[in-house]
A and B are shown apart, each in its own frame.
Chain A
């Protein structure tokens, strides 16, 4: 063994007790789906993990009906403190089974065990713990006294942080008094189904949370279902647009957390070594499968060469390989499809004249892998500076003045995240003020916390997850009869054109449930 060669240190899979087939979790029980089952594979080996059911429209109907029934009959009548107690139970069960969930997530998603063990799963528990405490304090959520829940929430989540995204969606929804139908991403359903077992252990009333699996058509059937009151979607901007179009004219409340092309701005007075760590964390964390990734490095011209040299040196020490190995930094790309997209955009970067450099690392024979890569000599018009790559690919641009950095950072239809590296506090505050992004990290990157609202400006979507604002996304003001006077009014009375037909359909869906 040479310096920096590590002996293999794989995490044991012994504590996993997976089934060969998983059904849909509807009304508290696992049931077979009516669609064609599909296999979930380990992207690091391409081996099958389990067969997963597909929910067709009838299954979606059943899940929505179960959620409606649970909302009307149980969950909306439960006291806030009792809802909170269920959420506290769930938080504790996640902590108890944390290692099992981390291993399952790494198997199914391809991300390193070090991340699932230290970031994803601890945040899942933290999210439920945080929102558990909100359930009996809704008067303070910022939507006025005695706010009302919305009803049934349809939630569609992506594959990059499967269980964490589930927690971001389910915890605030339940705390606010809604019931849920959640669809995980096609390639990463496994931990959502293990989570369903946790709900059974927590004795959560049947139908409060329903988990249906399948591909995009299942998700579309869910968000288009007339019996739901809220749609929360995290994923690509193109699908987000489609959903925004489809809920137009309905009374469905919508939250969208979409793509990004985050700028990570390094000023010449930044602590360079820390900044390099932050750049690595910003773009190579989770193989760059992060909507808020710092995928555009804006570095002040005078320190460009130094930063790039140190970054390359640091990238050479990143270990790519078996995601279950505790020393692995870079795991597998989640799917063949995503790998193809990363390859295509990277090839385009070269064609357009940017200079490509990849860390020299052995690529395993099976599975989907992409070596950590940076592009220098990138200009703002290059496609790799404009399109979300969603992989371990960094585009490096330069700037001379703070004004130029701000202009380049904001020169994107997205507005999710940004980073600022500088030792000068007043500069950080002034630059942060000017950046059009929902989350800004100063001298850090990719930090998440349940108390901290997360979400985008512009075409990165709307609505916030996390914190008090994330709770408000699942509440509406108390229905009051009032006059138009200033004192009485703090609400709107929306008109709905689609509601008449939607109402009819949801009524029949309810009947079907009973």
Chain B
């Protein structure tokens, strides 16, 4: 006799906890064949605001952690994802379709992406900053720092896990904290990733994952005065020009939508997009 399986309740991931949407709303997530998979939480404006509060509270600790520490935490995500490969492959196959080889390749690439970005944590400052030879008795140093709270619309196409990882990992490298709206049609691996993050030494609130409608949630994040930057990588099908216009009111740093297989491709420029360059002039003594 077959054992009756225990399905998982998929909830949001905010502030290191897994709450339901405060709105009480859920939406049906279907498999690629149209079968019922789960009721995912349909995040609301209030959930988005709670997520921003959580991200802001977590910023000091994450940005203030040593680069070596952040690198190890990001690498730890890769370790734990590796251990749960089978679960993610299953979820991806049921949600996105495709064969085991493709799903497996996607998970492998997502793991490798964490490893690649983890290695940048204690290097990007060296590559992007420098000492400046000013004409005067000063020691002058330029160093990139995190922009702050970054709101991200995750890629909405195929490869839901890889798209999500490709969008959030670079923002985390520099010490930003993140509020991300997951792939609307394939949100399950995003919440499962939240479970990985929750057990990977990533402090609560550093990554906050919303499921639901990007079209509904994105405007609240774009206009939120406590969000410093907006990554519209997965917003190509939304009215993203309006989102960018809204973000201009608080002069957010904005990355535009990207389409195709190259979307959110791994790049140092994705890390630097959400950094601010600080230049300090130290006066030298007269000896």
Give the contact stretch, choosing among B189-197, B204-212, B265-273.
Answer: B265-273
The reply on B248 being an interface residue by CB < 8 A is yes
Whether B245 lies near A461 (C-beta < 8 A) is no
Checking A143, A458, A496, A498 against B228 with a beta-carbon cut-off of 8 angstroms, the contacting residue is A458
Whether A484 lies near B133 (C-beta < 8 A) is no
Quick one: given A452-B281, A484-B265, are A249 and B240 in contact (CB under 8 Å)?
yes
Nearest B-chain residue to A441, judged by Cβ: B281
Interface residues of B in 8-41 (CB under 8 A from A): none
Give the contact stretch, choosing among A330-338, A372-380, A432-440.
Answer: A432-440
Give the chain A neighbours of B265 by CB distance below 8 A: 484, 489, 491-492
The reply on B2 being an interface residue by CB < 8 A is no
Q: How far is the CB of A475 from chain B (nearest CB, A)?
A: 12
Give the chain B neighbours of A482 by CB distance below 8 A: 262
The reply on A462 being an interface residue by CB < 8 A is yes
Whether B278 lies near A452 (C-beta < 8 A) is no
- Could you tell me how many residues of chain A have their Cβ less than 8 Å away from some Cβ of chain B? 55
Whether B277 lies near A240 (C-beta < 8 A) is no
Checking B136, B269, B278 against A437 with a beta-carbon cut-off of 8 angstroms, the contacting residue is B278
Whether A489 lies near B277 (C-beta < 8 A) is no
Q: How far is the CB of B276 from chain A (nearest CB, A)?
A: 5
The reply on A494 being an interface residue by CB < 8 A is yes
The reply on A236 being an interface residue by CB < 8 A is no
Interface residues of B in 170-188 (CB under 8 A from A): none
Checking B134, B135, B259, B266 against A489 with a beta-carbon cut-off of 8 angstroms, the contacting residue is B266
Rounded to whole angstroms, the CA-CA distance of A486 and B118 in the bound complex is 13
Checking A143, A438, A443 against B278 with a beta-carbon cut-off of 8 angstroms, the contacting residue is A438
Contact-residue size bin, chain B (C-beta under 8 Å from the other chain): 35 or more
Q: Mark B248-287, 1 if CB is under 8 A from A, else 0.
A: 1111011111111111011111100000111111110000
Rounded to whole angstroms, the CA-CA distance of A484 and B245 in the bound complex is 30
The reply on B99 being an interface residue by CB < 8 A is no
The reply on A248 being an interface residue by CB < 8 A is yes
Rounded to whole angstroms, the CA-CA distance of A117 and B53 in the bound complex is 50
Interface hub of A258, A452, A482 (most chain B Cβ within 10 A): A452
Rounded to whole angstroms, the CA-CA distance of A484 and B162 in the bound complex is 12
What are 5 A-B pairs at a CB distance below 8 A? Answer: A439-B281, A443-B283, A451-B134, A453-B142, A461-B251
Query: Other CB < 8 Å A-B pairs besides A439-B281, A440-B278, 9 of them?
Result: A244-B251, A248-B244, A438-B277, A439-B279, A442-B283, A484-B262, A486-B113, A492-B258, A497-B240
Which residues of A approach B to under 8 Å, CB–CB? 126, 142-143, 237, 240-241, 244-245, 248-249, 256, 258, 413, 415, 428, 432, 436-444, 447, 449, 451-455, 457-459, 461-462, 464, 467-469, 477, 482, 484, 486, 489-498
